[in-house]
Amino acid sequence: MRSIAILFLSSLITAATAAEKPISLKKAPGLDKVEANCGACHSLDYVPMNSRFLDAAGWNAEVTKMINAFGAPINPADVKAIVDYLAANYGI
């Protein structure tokens, strides 16, 4: 019985990950910084998901939160490029 449960769970996990499509963000200046910094810690799916809610100030607050609250190792010199990219391409 235990092996059947393991096989069932394994097939569910495989099916869930097989349907996942890689995210492709808009090509624009700053994309390299977003991919390198944001994508190092979490899926880039969060960018378009949050784009319905965040303007330039919201993206700035989000990047600041990632650095201050979650300890994201983002070079201070890259913050403006990241926020500008997100606001220009995924802001409201």
Which of 1-5, 20-24, 54-58 bottoms out in mean pLDDT, i.e. has the lowest? 1-5
The pTM of the full predicted model, rounded to 2 decimals, is 0.75
How far apart are the C-alpha atoms of 6 and 85, rounded to whole Å? 44
Torsion of CA 90, 50, 48, 22, to 10 degrees: 140
Give residue 23's pLDDT.
80
CA-CA-CA-CA torsion sign (48, 49, 53, 56): negative
pLDDT number for residue 3? 62
Domains of the chain (ranges plus CATH)? 23-90 (1.10.760.10)
Supply φ then ψ for residue 20, to 5 degrees: -75, 130
pLDDT digits (tens, 9 = 90+) for 60-86: 999 999 999 999 999 999 999 999 999
Total residue count of the chain as it appears in this document: 92
CA–CA gap between residue 84 and residue 77 (Å, rounded): 12
40 has a pLDDT exceeding 60? yes
